[in-house]
Chains A and B, each alone.
Chain A
């Protein structure tokens, strides 16, 4: 029964095209995500796998614990490169040669920009150039200091005392020094993951939006509902088919994307703290790249599942495929209707909307805190549990709605 429900979806040419589009968009995304370049000693820009392996080799030279000594070495090396005649020359090729020498410490240099920034929310690309070796001792301390300064100043009214304490405790309890290694595979994978998850969600909602309503559009509802299982098992088969389609298509896309990215760029750095790259510098979650990957994958899956089932629910309720396609998109655009009202309460509510799941990697960076049973919890665990529960609650509602349809 379920097999035929899946077939109803995929026998349509438009569904086949939709899946094709999904894979094409993924391909294009990979194309951009894999656009890594390496500048050689002569200042020429190289692309492709060769560039990747050269960049990897350059950064691997700096792999290891980011302790005070290493930081001061990086500060010195950076200054040496940035004050070299090539860097100061007016000639672009000379500048490129200087850049070429800095590729090994490029990522660590970014961390310096973050650690020694003027403020918690500030970023200055040239900050690293004005550091001295003596400042290396402050590298980790500054991370917490900037947070404290921000919490007492600009963000004073955004958090309760308990929340402030919680954030500071998280920052202070991060194990340092952390390890640095080449990890472009993960960085690039994370950066483009929201695109992949978002397009998957749109295509998935398109695919399943007709599962319930099309019986009416095709006028096959009379035969369906007058059959023995028309008001029980056949409805269940539709729900199962929806679940299968979402699961299979989502993970097919997500794993193919992961495979392409990591095969090309390497999976090095999978067990490193996320804080050892600029994107994760401010996280208060203590996780590794692999865990972040799992959070993105699981969050995206639950988000897609919830929105597809919402679409199917609307499909069953309104008998309209168009409404079923519009509903999840409306939910996604909810935050943009709220506009610029920035208040802690609004932020906390926005933090619970399903779009957060589709970009779980970015959401890890949001300081939305919730108090559950006296304990403070970050946004990510809350939304993952919340939407898993909501999706589970949607299933019986969907079943009952369609079972009673006339």
Chain B
């Protein structure tokens, strides 16, 4: 069980969306973290055989996935970022149809669907039309369809985007629960998603994997350090301009800044333990998306 990308490249005319990615995945949960436009979706679409790479290769246990064709797709479950469905199908019909094109026999499909609907908490909505579902419910059906056929590889593109905080937590639990012995790759631009469920983190930027490893590994390998510093109001502006600031906490007369810098920004600065948030800022030069890092 080994999904291997070698020098994987995808060019769209003059722009390179994925550049020379080499990475090998086995069983476990992989979190692909990167800002919008980093190339996450493009990478995943190649892993799902939806896009042909312009360079490099993807192999499953040594065999080219495009040559494996149906044999590879048989062990694949995919939740696209822009999850589309048949609006007038009921949830149940939708899942039965997807099961059929995934080669799951009707009898087995009925059992799997029953189980999955229960797991994603959609048992009561099985007879509802897809177009009548809320965003979160659609996403649950999306996860359920990806799980049909008990795939060895599960690829989820931004499964938590656009969900409210409570729903997001439920989704994280669901993904952990469904992971099992599978190879799960999910993308996100939200740091907290990664912290909770990923065993392995891939930081993607400009089409490249800039760093990878467990949270501890990444943090200990972080090239710069994190400092906290109490400054007066008039100084805030100057620090913001010269340093990467991961947090600003206002206090009477000034603020406590959380700065990322390789050298001590001031004699008064105090070393802090780095978090994934800091790491994200350090790599991407901007704060993590959707301000829900507190949940």
Contact = CB atoms under 8 A, between A and B. Distances in A.
A218 B89 CA distance: 12
Contacts of A231: 69-70, 73
A219 interface: yes
Interface stretch (A42-50, A222-230, A297-305): A222-230
A220 interface: yes
Given A222-B45, A222-B50, A406-B51, A228 B82 contact: no
A219 B85 CA distance: 7
B80 interface: yes
Contacts of B93: 4, 7
Interface string B72-92: 011010101011111111000
Given A4-B93, A4-B97, A406-B52, A227 B84 contact: no
B48 A222 contact: yes
Nearest to B49: A226
Given A1-B100, A4-B93, A7-B89, A226 B48 contact: yes
A231 B103 CA distance: 12
B102 A227 contact: yes
Contacts of A342: none
Contacts of A12: 88
B31 interface: no
B101 interface: yes
A337 B50 CA distance: 41
Interface string A384-406: 00000000000000000000001
A350 interface: no
Contacts of A225: 49-50
A11 B89 contact: yes
A229 B84 contact: no
Contacts of A218: 84-87
B85 A220 contact: yes
B89 A8 contact: yes
Q: Which of A7, A222, A225, A227 has the largest count of B CB atoms less than 10 A from its CB?
A: A227
A11 B86 contact: yes
Contacts of B85: 218, 220
Contacts of B78: 222-223, 226
A234 interface: yes
A221 interface: yes
Nearest to A2: B100
A231 B69 CA distance: 9
Interface string B85-113: 11111000100111011110000000000
Nearest to A221: B84
Contact of A226 (B73, B83, B89): B73
A7 B89 CA distance: 8
B145 interface: yes
B88 A406 contact: no
A41 B102 CA distance: 74
A228 B74 contact: yes
A37 interface: no
A348 to B, nearest CB: 46
A229 B82 contact: no
A220 B87 CA distance: 10
Contact of A4 (B52, B87, B96, B103): B96
Q: Which of B45, B51, B80, B97 has the largest count of A CB atoms less than 10 A from its CB?
A: B97
Contact of B100 (A4, A11, A220, A226): A4
Interface in B173-214: none
Nearest to B47: A226
Contacts of B80: 219, 222-223
A11 to B, nearest CB: 4
Nearest to A10: B88
Nearest to A230: B101
A406 B50 CA distance: 6
A218 B102 CA distance: 19
Given A1-B100, A4-B97, A226-B76, A232 B70 contact: yes
B149 interface: yes
A220 B45 CA distance: 14
Contacts of A220: 84-86
Nearest to B96: A4
Interface in B107-131: none
Contacts of A7: 89, 93, 97
A233 interface: yes
Given A222-B50, A225-B50, A1 B101 contact: yes
A344 to B, nearest CB: 51
A228 B145 CA distance: 13
Contacts of A221: 84
Nearest to A216: B84
A223 B84 contact: yes
A223 B103 contact: no
A147 to B, nearest CB: 58
10 contacts: A4-B97, A13-B88, A215-B84, A218-B87, A220-B85, A224-B101, A226-B50, A227-B101, A229-B102, A231-B69
Interface of A: 1, 4, 7-8, 11-13, 215, 218-234, 237, 406
Given A7-B89, A223-B145, 6 more contacts: A221-B84, A222-B78, A226-B50, A227-B102, A229-B103, A230-B73
